[in-house]
Amino acid sequence: MVGLGTGCAVDIPTLDLTRPETVEAIAPARTGVVPLVDRRAEIQREGEAPRLIPLLLWNQRKGEYVTADRHFEGDVSLALSRQVTAALDRGRFGPATLLEDAAGTSRGGALARCRADDLPYVALGSIGDFYGTLRQNAYLFLLPIPFVSLIGFGNAKTDPLGVVTLDLEILDCQTGRPVFRRRLARRMRHPEESLSEAARLTLLDLLDQLSNETLAR
């Protein structure tokens, strides 16, 4: 009973961030994408969970859950970089390819890759946020008094919230000037979903926005 009442610890499954419909580009690349710089706060990488507080006849678990990198398969920043590349692919900047060996490349380095790889455009940016979170207040109390035992139980949780923020710019390789610059941000509630799924679904919504904003004109 104590385990049930306090427990209620939130389960966070491990998910694959790859979009099922993602396919490899077969046309020659026109946009090279530098892997996104991961600027997330440590709590988003390491995660957080409220601890159980046992107080004799009163047990409580109260606080916030935050997803960690372990709740997603593989390298999170690389997975997001691949998904940004897929969102840009076949848009108005042409077929896109991820320059996996260019991690941490500066603007100048990115423009140098334009010449080395004969690319008209190069994209670079950073990850500001990527996580799922919710707040929980669970408790169980047992109050034994003569002839009566009082039991109280509660487990209130907010709907899972997905939070994603990406900064992205695309440079014209000839002029070195940005032809696209956006801060893309999403905060979306996903009732009935797990925290990791809330983060994934929010990311997919943001990627759809990016794809729509870079459609061929």
pLDDT digit string (tens) for the chain, length 217 residues: 444 444 577 889 999 998 765 555 556 789 999 999 999 999 999 999 988 766 666 677 888 999 999 999 999 999 999 999 999 997 999 999 999 898 888 899 999 999 889 999 999 999 999 999 999 987 676 666 665 555 666 678 899 999 999 999 999 999 999 999 999 999 999 999 999 999 999 999 999 999 999 987 6
- Nearest Cα neighbor of 44 from 134, 136, 126, 129 is 129
CA 150 to chain CA centroid, nearest Å: 43
CATH number at residue 101: 3.40.50.10610
Is 62 part of any domain?
no
Does residue 63 sit within a domain?
Answer: no
For residue 92, what are the domain limits? 29-45+68-133+146-213
Domain-located, residue 179: yes
Evaluate whether residue 87 is within a structural domain: yes
Beta bridge partners of 61: 52, 138
Instruction: Summarize pLDDT for 135-148 with one digit per residue, the tens.
Output: 998 767 666 666 55
For the chain, the residue count is 217
Number of domains the chain contains: 1
Burial of 133 (0-12, 13-18, 19+ CB in 10 A): buried
Read off the pLDDT of residues 146-163 as tens digits, 9 standing for 90 and up.
Answer: 655 556 666 788 999 999
Q: What string of H, E and C letters represents the secondary structure of 80-107?
A: HHHHHHHHHCCECCECEEECHHHCCCCH
Q: Is the pTM of this model over 0.75?
A: yes
Query: Is 12 domain-assigned?
Result: no
